[in-house]
Structure 1
Amino acid sequence: MVIRREKTHTCGTICLKYLLFLFNVLFWLAGGAVLAVGVWTVAAKSDYISLLNSTFYSTSAYILIATGTIVVVTGLIGCCATLRESRVLLGVYFVLLFCIFLLEIIAGLMAYMNHQKCFPFCYELDHELRQNLRGTMQHKYQQPGEADITQAVDKLQMEFQCCGSNSSLDWSGSIWIIVPGNDRIVPDSCCKSPIAYCGRRDHPSNIYKGGCIAKLEEFILSQLHVLGAVGIGIAFIQLLGMMLTCCLYQNLKEEIY
């Protein structure tokens, strides 16, 4: 006959169990938020990504989606490990937390280094923007089969209140501008009050003279700054989760023996 012993826990173990469960719920919600940001980036900022002729920014968004998914799964494993009081699952959960912690620290530090222009990527970012954005505007705007690019350029110029890549003068070399019969000097989206055919007059009172490159670069670097702060902040919060996991694991082990 097999005699089963009921599990008896000390007050400390019970407190650790519920604290870790609460942490896992918050961690799971944080993963959902990161996943939502990644999906939002792909859905809402895909226009800007298409202007750069680069997979770097879309890849970054998909990395956010992947990270959010991993965090959600890890949070679920943590909840199961805590409720089932499984030391094996607690060990797996700790390893996953530690791996995510290292990745977030590395990503956060890289984002800060990029923001401070201490990393070669900043030069590559500036070079890519200046090469690709100008070429895209001059050769693809209002061209057959390039409706998405045209919409993205118009959205960029109106949202950032800019005109052209470096300045409004860049539009003088556009394929669309030099087409016979086109009497516009700049697209209507360059106008401070966009209306049909307002791009016929390039007076500073009518259009934005500043280029979009500097503003787009500033926007991207500011996002890196925020990403770095959030990544490092969440990473240090995970230290609490790892400590709680270790304490609960040790308490369960001591109670068994």
Structure 2
Amino acid sequence: MGVYEEKKETCGTICLKYLLFTFNFLFWLAGGVVIAVGVWTLVEKSDYISLLSSKTYAASAYILVLAGVIVMVTGVLGCCATFKEQKKLLRVYFVLLLCIFLLEILAGILACIYYQQLNEELKQNLKNTMVKKYREEKENEHITRAVDKLQQEFKCCGSHNSSDWAESSWIRSVFSEGRVVPDSCCKTVLDLCGRRNHPSNIYKVEGGCITKLENFILDHLKIIGAVGIGIACVQIFGMVFTCCLYRSLKAEPY
């Protein structure tokens, strides 16, 4: 009977090892996805981040990148700990899993909180940023690029509408060369095309750029939140498998 129990325990341990190994492989792949989402948000859409006064959106992406890097390292450590059956390594692995779990939950919570605050922030800051910083100072060149990209990519003009540009310091100056809106408002961008603000020449989108940018960021916040919380939930299985394997191993001599 004792031999049977020993074999049964050994079989259970082997099953747990392979379950944990499979989890770690999938977890390692998931780490790559997390990094990709975070880096894509920061690099591909970094211009739009500069139009936001709050750093919460960028912080969520940075947390995801950090969590993704730790995930990939942890996945390798988890495989080593599983096959070497070292309880010390399993303890380290469990702690890392817990840290990643908390980081991803934090990224998801930040994304959810900012989701609620975004509309108010854009209402308060986007128009002010566009009319006061567009082509004003050399240190604001990234703002100018972001505004031009925003208006061209989303086919819009001004924060709420094209008349917002009447308040622009640059439009009022001689440097605008008679433009009433930036050239990036034009349907076909040509030098000095912004002198004519007729609907046949410039974008007259209802709601302006603020609505377009809000919808764009909300979609990305959903992705960040879903990725962070989704992978964090999957990690619960990894922590359960780790605890089960830890308990099934014989006590190590210290």
5 Å-filtered alignment, 1:6-17, equals 10-17=10-17
* 1:73 Cα deviation from its structure 2 partner: 2.6
Q: Higher helix fraction: Structure 1 or Structure 2?
A: 2
CA distance 1:91–1:223, shift in 2 (3 Å): same
User: Runs of 5+ in structure 2 lacking a partner?
Assistant: 1-6
Instruction: Give the aligned partner of residue 4 of structure 1.
Output: none
Letter in structure 1 aligned against 2:21: F
Counterpart selection for 2:227 from 220, 230, 237: 230
Asked whether the 8 Å contact 1:114–1:221 carries over to 2, the reply is no
How far residue 215 of structure 1 moved from its aligned partner, in angstroms, is 1.6
TM-superposed deviation, 1:155: 0.4
Partner of 1:217: 214
Q: Is the 8 A contact 2:60 2:110 kept in 1?
A: no
How many residues matched? 242
Kindly indicate whether residue 199 of structure 2 is the aligned counterpart of residue 189 of structure 1. Answer: no
Deviates more, 1:127-136 or 1:103-112: 103-112
Q: Does 1:36 align with 2:36?
A: yes
- Are 1:139 and 2:132 matched, yes or no? yes
TM-score by length of 1: 0.82
Q: Deviations over 1:54-87 (max 9, x none)?
A: 4333333322222222222322321221121111
Aligned: 1:150 with 2:144: yes
Opposite residue 58 of structure 2, the aligned amino acid is: S
State the alpha-carbon separation in 2 of the partners of residues 242 and 232 from structure 1: 15
> 1:178 corresponds to which residue?
172
- Say if 1:56 and 1:228 are closer, same or farther in 2 by CA, change over 3 A: closer
Shift of 1:208: 1.6
Q: CA RMSD in A?
A: 2.6
Q: Given the two structures, how large is their TM-score scaled by the length of structure 2? A: 0.83
Correspondence for 2:25: 25
Give the Å deviation of 1:148.
2.2
State the alpha-carbon separation in 1 of the partners of residues 213 and 124 from structure 2.
14
Name the CA distance, whole Å, in 1 between partners of 2:50 and 2:169. Answer: 19
Within 2, Cα distance between the matches of 1:52 and 1:128?
8
TM-aligned CA distance change 1:62 to 1:153, over 3 Å:
same
Shift of 1:23: 1.3
Identical pairs, percent: 62
